[in-house]
Amino acid sequence: MELFIAKRLAQNNTGSFSSAIIKIAIMAVGLSICILILTASIVEGFQLQITEKIFGYWGHIQVLHLTADQAMENVPIYNDPELIDAIREENGVKHAHVFANKAGILKTADNIEGVVLRGVSTDYNWSFFEEHMIEGSVLNLSDSLGHREILISNSLAKRLKLKVDDNIIVFFAKDKSVNTLYRKLKVKGIYHTGLEEYDRLFCYVDIRHIQKLNGWADNQISGVEIFVDEVNQLDSAVVRIENTLPYMYRAQSLKDVFPNIFDWVNLTVTNKYIVIILVTLVAAFNMITVLLILILERTKMVGILKTMGAMDWNVQKIFLYHAILITLVGVLLGNILGIGISYLQSTYGIISLPEESYYLSAVPVHLNWWNVFWINIGAIITINLILVIPSVLVKKISPIKAIRFN
């Protein structure tokens, strides 16, 4: 009954000022929810795309010789088919392939560039590079002959003025002496991943070239790159794989190889939670201000209801009811804006980024519906719980003074 009377009184006493305040409150809540959805989507997009690129380059886990450091030319291990099969059969392992490294110098008529040649074999999974090819194709290593082809990055191609099917000379130091070896290779394809500092460093060739240049046997390699199904289970996968290796080998996660990149990604996740907490509190305090204004502007209504016998809590519920309606409308508006902007950015990449700094050419967005759900639930519950505080002001209003209030 009190709610019905309050609605009638509110309709008769609603001024342009309170209407404007309500509209501002709806917009404030809507913008807050929009910011929360965009923050969660962008941070998750960064996390997914950066880690996908890093793992696409080197796999999730590397198996190396125990004494090997992070130098580009590792101490060789043996390509034992039984060991490789045992790794591939481990629970959670999706793929494993062998590789070998060799530092060299690319030379054209006008330019030279220091690089690391990464030799791969027929078991290499090219799916990552196939997604990032801009010209030509990946290496075809299906036959028994060593291919004299090379896969280079777009940044190298621009600096050396190379294109597909061009020939290039690659020089190598021989046994750390002044003597050099060289190979003439043909550019098979040009790729671009956005990881600029690695794009300009790594080229891909047939592993048999690297083995010969290093003076290795056919069954010697730098290591094994392993891809797992669940990145969240990476640490436990490292432990399981480590237990299958001979004592002179070791398994290491890519998080240990590139800790600075993963620390940066984790820092963005921490910032996400800070932004979510701060924006939610700002939205809640905005609603507190609105509710206080509504209570003060309807002081006479409160007095009339109290003289009719309404209890304080019943009057509080009236204001909370309207505050909840304002919050829900704002949340709906925020969802429309946040989801709409996320869709446009993920589809068209409207907002760009300097790729040399962020490894991405556009702001990444990954819309996780569970994130949207929990943002909505958390914001609604937090705001409405905090709104109970200003509604207590109703208890302080005296009916006689309220009726006389102007």
**Residue 180 scores a pLDDT above 80:** no
**Residue 250 pairs with which residues in a beta bridge?**
64
**Residue 185 pairs with which residues in a beta bridge?**
168
Looking at residues 277-281, what average pLDDT do you find? 83
Angstrom CA distances, 370 to 37, 366, 373, 376, stand at 11, 12, 5, 10
- Range name among 60-64, 108-112, 172-176, 381-385 with the lowest pLDDT average: 172-176
- Range name among 32-46, 67-81, 99-113, 114-128 with the lowest pLDDT average: 67-81
Per-residue DSSP letters for 280-345? HHHHHHHHHHHHHHHHHHTHHHHHHHHHTT--HHHHHHHHHHHHHHHHHHHHHHHHHHHHHHHHHH
Domain edges within the chain: 2-53+262-404, 67-246
CB 61 within 8 A of CB 238: yes
**Residue 266 scores a pLDDT above 60:** yes
**196/203 Cα distance (integer angstroms):** 13
CB 163 within 8 A of CB 187: yes
pLDDT computed for residue 2 by the predictor: 45
pLDDT computed for residue 310 by the predictor: 62
pLDDT computed for residue 178 by the predictor: 56
Looking at residues 158-175, what average pLDDT do you find? 86
Angstrom CA distances, 277 to 267, 271, 272, 389, stand at 16, 10, 9, 19
Looking at residues 321-326, what average pLDDT do you find? 81
pLDDT computed for residue 268 by the predictor: 73
202: left (phi over 0), alpha (psi -120 to 50) or beta: beta
The larger pLDDT score, comparing residue 310 to residue 187, is at 187
pTM of the model: 0.76
CA-nearest of 298, 283, 403 to 17 is 298
**375/371 Cα distance (integer angstroms):** 6
Percent of the chain's residues with pLDDT above 90: 30
- Range name among 122-136, 258-272, 296-310 with the lowest pLDDT average: 296-310
Give residue 287's pLDDT band: very low, low, confident or very high (50, 70, 90).
confident
Looking at residues 86-103, what average pLDDT do you find? 91
Angstrom CA distances, 191 to 49, 79, 136, 188, 226, stand at 17, 28, 9, 10, 22
Per-residue DSSP letters for 164-211? TT-EEEEEEESTTSS-EEEEEEEEEEEE--S-HHHHTTEEEEEHHHHH
**Residue 177 scores a pLDDT above 60:** no
- Range name among 134-138, 182-186, 285-289 with the lowest pLDDT average: 285-289
Q: Which of 63-77, 191-205, 353-367 has the highest mean predicted lDDT (pLDDT)?
A: 191-205
**Residue 209 scores a pLDDT above 70:** yes
Looking at residues 92-109, what average pLDDT do you find? 90
- Determine the length of the chain: 406
**48/232 Cα distance (integer angstroms):** 12
Please provide the average confidence, as pLDDT, over all residues in the chain.
82
**104/113 Cα distance (integer angstroms):** 9
- Range name among 4-8, 51-55, 273-277, 401-405 with the lowest pLDDT average: 4-8
Reduce the DSSP state of residue 152 to 3 states and report it.
strand
- The Cα angle at residue 23 between residues 20 and 27, in degrees rounded to 5: 140
Alpha-carbon Rg for the chain, nearest whole angstrom, is 32
Q: What amino acid occupies position 175?
A: D
**End-to-end CA separation in angstroms for the chain:** 25
Looking at residues 186-213, what average pLDDT do you find? 91
**Residue 293 scores a pLDDT above 80:** no
